[in-house]
Structure 1
């Protein structure tokens, strides 16, 4: 498969290595300011660019008949418009806040636990996420997705960074050393605590998941998620 990389930072380089190890060819490395994109040679685009460039990268691919896998965060105010263009052009698209296979299983576990806990008012939920000091946004996109999974399956209505009101999920964000990503959800009561936790040992899981998603979407039409890729629906 011929892959075009939109964004050639640390994640782009890691995706390149994993894709090549799995027998694919990188036919384009599109970074900020690039104008000459060989769309006709690209089977699937993988976008880990920037919030300012992601929407244009993604929709230009749709306009040129190229399926897109995107893990860029910070552009989602334009997500609905991107989906509209994808459907109009009969394109194919997967967006995920985190492509790690383990994290996506963790998302499902989190939602299922939230359902089971929804009527047990004696338990209060909270979340902690820890990342490396170079990560500037807080909370992480993964933490927000986890919070949304709880909200969809319980009486919680919102999340807040640090202190939260009733019916809000408090999220604590820590930035330490070179931590790749640790997310913990805790349900605490006067008599006991229940916790689930995901710890990433490195960034390879994110890159591998993006390549697997690219392999899965090749030849398909529509808007999908990692639930589809992992057959979790």
Structure 2
């Protein structure tokens, strides 16, 4: 069963800059294109780093301050000072860039963004070349799928293709991304698997699994049963 991947939601037309791109030109690109960050690439479109609005703002934050270095300076403060003094992308960028791949599941990309505290990820191919960029808002697109599309995936991919459930045994209802499963199957393990797989369908917010079963094959005693309604 296929779930949505980064390649399904990423932006493919990515504005980039070179390591030697001047500060003012980067600011112009960010404001004119309405983006919050730009990847820095070499001649082969390999990502060297990322220049974000935060990187650009260091110069604004330190404007008018005397150019002095403290004896004991934290890594964070030193990085901010160096970026405030940088004149080109190579000195402004955060490197190495936190990146992902088109085949990565959306959940993996979301966890990576959260762990690294970044708002977007350059997307690289197998050779490390830039093929797109994915943002937090892009990851939310999966929840714009219609209830009809979600129901079709649950019926076709989960019930028919994976579990080979005959038509009519299980009913599927979807409302605002919430899936309700009802009906009956022979084994409890099949019921639980149906619920888990339905929860993995792209766009599903919650699964209410009300499928009944004849035999509980998840326990040692096969005599424990729950009649199918």
Same fold (TM over 0.5): no
| TM-score, normalisation: structure 1 | 0.22
Q: Which has the higher contact order (CA 8 A, sep 6+)?
A: 1
Structure number with larger C-alpha Rg: 2
| TM-score, normalisation: structure 2 | 0.23
